[in-house]
Amino acid sequence: MGPSSRFRNGPIGKLNHFLTITLIEWIGNFYRRVCGNRSSATCDRLCVYFMEEKNPVLLIVYLTLLTGSILLFFLTAWPHFPGHYLSQVHMYLVPIVIFFTYASFFTACMSDPGQITRENVIKACKMFDYDFLIFEPRECKTCLFLKPARSKHCSLCKMCVAKCDHHCSWINNCVGLKNHRYFLLFLYATVQICFYGAYLIYYIFWGIAKKMNLSDAWITSIQTGIRVRISTYQAALFLIHQERVLGALGIFALLVGLVIFIFFCYQLSLVYNGTTANEAFKWEELEEIIISGELWVFEKDTEEESKKRKKKNKSKEISEVKGKTTAVYWIQPAKRRKNVSSEGESEAIGENSKQIGRQVKSISEVRNIYDKGLWGNFKEALSPPSL
């Protein structure tokens, strides 16, 4: 989010630059002065491995957190099953939810994101058209073949990925055309186990409170010395103090679940809009170009519309011409603009020209050709075409 054009010059972008570049440089310079060049060279190689190469570090972190939390749950929460508010059915649901989470995780890790090779590059190029706005025909400098529209070369996986969304270090794999559905399933499974765990722990605490009859408990106020009925907040603090590990586990599950739920909703919104995380950054950059007034469009008229335009040109009603057009976009820096009318339009220069160039003033004027509607977008994500 920091490198995004929307946040690049703001506090989020500056914080991202400080954490990812400036702070690392400071630590590196300090380490070289203290430990010398030989030791710092080893440290530099480790930094390159962790930051710039494909590695299973975050994958191991996820498995450690997941497995550790499950073990703590069985040690602290399982003895309370079945409880006053939790029926015996949860003793069968818990293992199913755990198995589903591990299965979705390993499926996302090991699935093919949609690798583009010399054997399938032609088929990949036919899958999506170039819009000549955020994607245009050009050769991948690493793979040395034509890059299909919506693809991206991943420097970590060292391959071009069809309809690339992003590289996810948590699964140590790219997310693309063929495994986006598995990635969504992985996010859903993680959100599910977090919220389900928090739900169970919440009702375990309610069961403990019921067993201790805390609803009828009285305490003596330190300030007044008067006996008052215990509040819900005080009862919650008392229970968490009694079951610290279980309480910490419930709070951890709830917070992690909320964070991943937000990201899950973001991924669903991308699918809904017929775009990817990679394309979302490109659209933000395009919006920045539009705001600076540098995106223009040529709309090629048909023969009949060209005659109408010439007639209307005499009465200065060019802007009212309607009809089917083929839009061609290009970036024109402000210093190179010529023959621009007060309405933001310029006549194309050339023999027998039948084009009108006008400035694009809003991102809403630009159509996303990859947006197939709600059903079409989700169908493409959940049942992608073969590559």
pLDDT for residue 327: 66
Q: What share of the chain is helix, strand, coil (3-state, %, to 5)?
A: 55, 10, 35
pLDDT for residue 141: 94
Q: Which amino acid is at 196?
A: Y
Across the range 244-251, mean pLDDT stands at 93
Question: Which among 338, 381, 385 is positioned nearest to 357, based on CA atoms?
Answer: 338
Confidence category of residue 262, pLDDT binned at 50, 70, 90: very high
pLDDT for residue 151: 96
Dist. CA 90–CA 92, nearest whole Å: 5
Q: How far apart are the first and last CA of the chain?
A: 30
CB 297 within 8 A of CB 329: yes
Return the SS3 of 370.
Answer: coil
Exposure string for 137-151, b = 16+ CB within 10 A, e = fewer: eeebeebebbbbbbb
Residue 119 burial (CB < 10 Å; 0-12/13-18/19+)? exposed
pLDDT for residue 321: 32
pLDDT for residue 37: 67
- Is residue 137 reached through a cis peptide bond, with omega within 30 degrees of 0 on the bond before it? no
Across the range 145-161, mean pLDDT stands at 95
87 vs 257, which has greater pLDDT?
257
Sign of CA dihedral 294, 139, 108, 48: negative
Q: Give the tokens for residue 267.
A: 């991924």
81 has pLDDT over 80: yes
CB 238 within 8 A of CB 214: yes
pLDDT for residue 190: 98
Q: Give the tokens for residue 305.
A: 């519309």
Confidence category of residue 3, pLDDT binned at 50, 70, 90: low
What's the pLDDT tens digit per position in 300-337?
654 455 555 555 544 443 333 333 345 677 676 655 54
Q: Which range has highest mean pLDDT (12-16, 268-272, 325-329)?
A: 268-272
Dist. CA 90–CA 200, nearest whole Å: 9
Across the range 29-45, mean pLDDT stands at 71
Q: Which amino acid is at 22?
A: T
HSE (side-chain half, CA atoms, 13 Å) at 300: 5
pLDDT for residue 356: 59
Give the C-alpha distances (Å, rounded to integers) separating 222 from 120, 150, 215, 219: 76, 66, 20, 9
Mean pLDDT rounded to a whole number for the chain: 82
pLDDT for residue 59: 95
Dist. CA 67–CA 109, nearest whole Å: 17
pTM for this entry: 0.81
Q: Which range has highest mean pLDDT (64-73, 124-133, 205-214, 225-234)?
A: 64-73
Q: For residue 340, what is the DSSP state?
A: B
Confidence category of residue 241, pLDDT binned at 50, 70, 90: confident
